[in-house]
Amino acid sequence: MQLNLHMSWYAIAAFLVLCAAAVCANVISWLMIGMINAKVSEDEQISYFWWGGEVRPRFKRLFPGHRFVFMLDACVVIMVLSFFALAKLWVLS
């Protein structure tokens, strides 16, 4: 018995774009944590391993107008759009 998995090249490309955007968003978040930790006292620092949604607002407050906020938002938008494209191309087709 042979397993026939049909997946188009567009679905594979959407998955790869989704993964790349997720990795970029994670790296940007780590860079933001590093910049936050360099600026605040030791008891207010954020852990690299256990962080949540407080990174973006704190970074935006400490570094207003920095391009990392836009880059992180762009990665999240690309991830969401790629997820919907993957769902349409692979699951719903």
pTM of the model: 0.86
**In the predicted structure, residue 42 carries a pLDDT above the cut 80:** yes
The answer to whether 88 and 79 have CB atoms below 8 angstroms apart is no
From 6-10, 19-23, 25-29, the region with the lowest mean pLDDT: 6-10
Q: Is residue 21 part of a domain?
A: no
What gap in Å lies between CA 45 and CA 70, rounded to an integer?
22
What gap in Å lies between CA 75 and CA 20, rounded to an integer?
9
What gap in Å lies between CA 3 and CA 22, rounded to an integer?
30
From 4-13, 18-27, 57-66, the region with the lowest mean pLDDT: 4-13
9-24 burial by CB neighbour count: b if 16+ within 10 A, else e?
Answer: eebeebbebbeebbeb
Instruction: Grade residue 3 by pLDDT with cuts at 50, 70 and 90.
Output: low
Domain of residue 33: give its range: 29-91
- Nearest in space to 61 (alpha carbons), one of 69, 52, 70, 49: 69
Instruction: Grade residue 53 by pLDDT with cuts at 50, 70 and 90.
Output: confident
Looking at residue 24, its pLDDT comes to 98
Structurally, the chain folds into a number of domains equal to 1
**In the predicted structure, residue 63 carries a pLDDT above the cut 90:** yes
